[in-house]
Amino acid sequence: MELLLKKIKRLKLKKKKIILCHGVFDLIHLGHIKHFKSAKNFGDFLIVSLTADKYIKKGPGRPIFNQNQRLEFLKEIKQIDEVVISTKESSEDIIKLIKPDFYVKGPDYADNKKDKTKKIIHEKKLVEKYGGKIKYTNDLAFSSSNIINSGNFIFNNEQKEFVKKIKRKFSYNQINRSLKKLKQLKVLVIGELIIDRYFFGKVLGKSGKEPHLVMEENYSEDYLGGSAAVARHLSSFVKKIDLLSPYGGEKKHNLLIKKHFKNNISFRSFRPYKNFKTIIKSRFLDIISNYKLFGSYILPARFDLRSEKIVENIIDSRKKNIDIIIVCDYGHNFIGNIIANKLKKTKKFISLNAQVNASNIGHHTIKKYKNVDVMVINESELRHELRDNNSDLKFLAKKLIKDIKIKTLVITKGKSGALLINNKNKIISCPAFAKNTVDKVGAGDAMLSILSVTLKMKIDPEIAILIASIAAAVSVESIGNKESVSFDRIDRSLEYILK
């Protein structure tokens, strides 16, 4: 960049005009070539800046080509004099450095109001601040996303067929309007807040004296998991969230909560007993591969009748001001029969995820829950609950729906997608949309969050399961619960997927 800036300085001294184009340029097509030709007509030296991989939010699997591959391809186009990678979400950092005479965008940006991100407005002001002008080309526009979706670049046949089915029935604008209605919802999330602690290090190999693996620890990071992850996922979709959880009140965790909870999340915590410690689930990862080597948990010693009474009283105090209750039962004995019965009596829309884990397998059951509106469960949890490893999944789903009176049951199947079955015998099989899986932890929480509120608002189940699957795909692209799903991210993904 330093060499480029020196070159620009020399060119400007010679009264040469500098042009800047910016974009993702994931799949170069005829429209891009025409755009670069038109842009070059405005001046003498054309610079193209690329959006870095981490800022591309066009849906699962994007970008197809990483930033270095895209940079190398663009350098081969003769109209382009220099290519750089932007270190920010928009081109503002590049504009500040280059101060172009002309900033050139395509015809679809001519009406600035149509840019949902509003980046074009800020970019235009910045260009003009440095004495430049923004220009719009009149070339025929092609959609990279449309080309990508139509071909076999991202979607397999199953995914393409599912998306086609959605597009035949619904437009993006219809779905967008439905999603905006979620903003009116007030949600109560009940469940254990969990700190996901990740230790990153280099695997050194087997210990010289004992038969165990040794890792050189480099650093660690804490993320808000469990019910806190669900609350964070929902925070940009709904109006208000009350999060009810046992909590130890540790200073370090308080700082994490303050940093990552939006203003519309009210944390209603309580300490079950004097020495209660917040649940911490630690994972030790190889820093190169992100493979998990080992896990270590700090779990509660007990939850007693007093804890259930506290929760019961909070539910009573809040039930008039909530539309939906999302129950996150992570299997640590926090939610007993008293709370389960109280939930049923509220007559609110109840959504549930009750998990099997290393500490409760063999004695875990969801039979205490009755009359649930939505339940999310994975295939192994369903088979564990019904003690059946062989029967057809749809048969088992219908049995569970009948046994505990579930209106909609969603079974997640990892890379095989998800199956939605309701009590009216509607069956929807949705493929998984994850392409770049970094860590599966938290995918179920993302799916539960979105399914709960979309089905509460009577959004069509096919749309609901698609959006929830996209949320899960977004979730697995980062370590643990480091990043939360946002309304804008899902909305943009849908816009590009449905092109």
Mean pLDDT of 260-272: 95
Same domain, 324 and 182: yes
Cβ 420 vs Cβ 459: under 8 Å: no
User: Is residue 284 situated within a structural domain?
Assistant: yes
Q: How far apart are CA 57 and CA 480, in angstroms?
A: 19
- Check pLDDT > 80 for residue 160: yes
User: Is residue 163 situated within a structural domain?
Assistant: no
Q: For the chain, what is the total number of helices (H) and then of strands (E)?
A: 17, 18
Same domain, 208 and 341: yes
Mean pLDDT of 368-373: 92
Cβ 276 vs Cβ 245: under 8 Å: no
Residue 107, preceding peptide bond in cis (omega within 30° of 0):
no
Helices (H), 319-392: 337-345, 379-386
Q: What is the pLDDT of residue 464?
A: 97
Instruction: Please tell me the total count of domains within the chain.
Output: 2
* Tens-digit pLDDT profile for residues 213-257: 899 999 999 999 999 999 999 999 999 999 999 999 999 999 999
* Band (367; pLDDT cuts 50, 70, 90): confident
* Tens-digit pLDDT profile for residues 27-46: 888 888 899 999 999 999 99
139-153, 241-255, 390-404: least confidently modelled range: 139-153
Cβ 49 vs Cβ 21: under 8 Å: yes
Q: What is the pLDDT of residue 150?
A: 61
Domain stop point among 143, 166, 186: 143
Rounded (10°) CA dihedral 443, 482, 117, 431: -20
Residue 100, preceding peptide bond in cis (omega within 30° of 0):
no
Q: For tokens 């849908």, name the residue.
A: 494
User: Is residue 167 situated within a structural domain?
Assistant: no
Q: What is the pLDDT of residue 111?
A: 80
Q: How far apart are CA 166 and CA 464, in angstroms?
A: 11
Q: What is the pLDDT of residue 165?
A: 94
Measure Cα distances from 150 to 61, 155, 402, 429 in Å. Answer: 14, 9, 41, 21
Same domain, 424 and 294: yes
What single-letter amino acid sits at 301? Answer: A
Query: Which pair of tokens denotes residue 39?
Result: 């842009």
Q: What is the pLDDT of residue 336?
A: 86
Phi/psi of residue 49, each to 5°?
A: -105, 140
Same domain, 308 and 409: yes
Share of the chain above pLDDT 90, in %: 63
140: DSSP letter: P
Mean pLDDT of 409-415: 93
* Tens-digit pLDDT profile for residues 93-134: 999 999 999 999 988 888 877 777 778 888 999 999 999 999
Mean pLDDT of 376-398: 93
Mean pLDDT of 361-378: 87
- CATH number (domain holding residue 117): 3.40.50.620
- 321: helix, strand or coil: helix
Average pLDDT score over the chain: 90
* Tens-digit pLDDT profile for residues 274-331: 889 999 999 999 998 888 999 999 998 778 778 888 899 999 998 889 999 999 999 8
Query: Which pair of tokens denotes residue 69?
Result: 């591959």
User: Is residue 105 situated within a structural domain?
Assistant: yes
Q: Which domain holds residue 95?
A: 2-143
Q: For tokens 């500098």, name the residue.
A: 18
Same domain, 95 and 191: no
* Tens-digit pLDDT profile for residues 42-73: 999 999 999 998 888 777 778 888 899 999 99
User: Is residue 21 situated within a structural domain?
Assistant: yes
Same domain, 310 and 227: yes
- Check pLDDT > 90 for residue 184: yes
* Band (140; pLDDT cuts 50, 70, 90): low
User: Is residue 408 situated within a structural domain?
Assistant: yes
Transcribe 61-73 into DSSP letters.
Answer: T--SS-HHHHHHH
Same domain, 195 and 306: yes
16: DSSP letter: P
Q: Who contacts 58 (Cβ-Cβ below 8 Å, separation ≥6)?
A: 24, 26, 145, 492, 493, 496
H-run or E-run covering 456? helix 443-456
Looking only at the bridges linking them, the beta strands covering 18-23 and 45-51 are parallel
35-44, 67-76, 165-174, 434-443: least confidently modelled range: 434-443
Same domain, 60 and 185: no
Same domain, 255 and 364: yes
Same domain, 120 and 198: no
Query: Which pair of tokens denotes residue 420?
Result: 């939605």
Domain stop point among 127, 143, 159: 143
H-run or E-run covering 286? strand 279-286
Q: Strand pairing partners for 427?
A: 421
Cβ neighbours around 372 below 10 Å, total: 23
Cβ 201 vs Cβ 472: under 8 Å: no
User: Is residue 169 situated within a structural domain?
Assistant: no
Share of the chain above pLDDT 70, in %: 97
Mean pLDDT of 459-485: 93
Go through the chain and tell me how many residues it has.
499
Same domain, 336 and 462: yes
User: Is residue 364 situated within a structural domain?
Assistant: yes
Q: What is the pLDDT of residue 120?
A: 86
Cα 55–Cα 57–Cα 60 angle in degrees, nearest 5: 125
Q: How far apart are CA 222 and CA 230, in angstroms?
A: 16
Q: For tokens 């609350």, name the residue.
A: 231
Cβ 185 vs Cβ 453: under 8 Å: yes
Q: What is the pLDDT of residue 14?
A: 93
Same domain, 72 and 124: yes
- CATH number (domain holding residue 452): 3.40.1190.20
Q: What is the pLDDT of residue 231?
A: 98
* Band (151; pLDDT cuts 50, 70, 90): low
User: What's the N-to-C CA distance of the chain in angstroms?
Assistant: 36
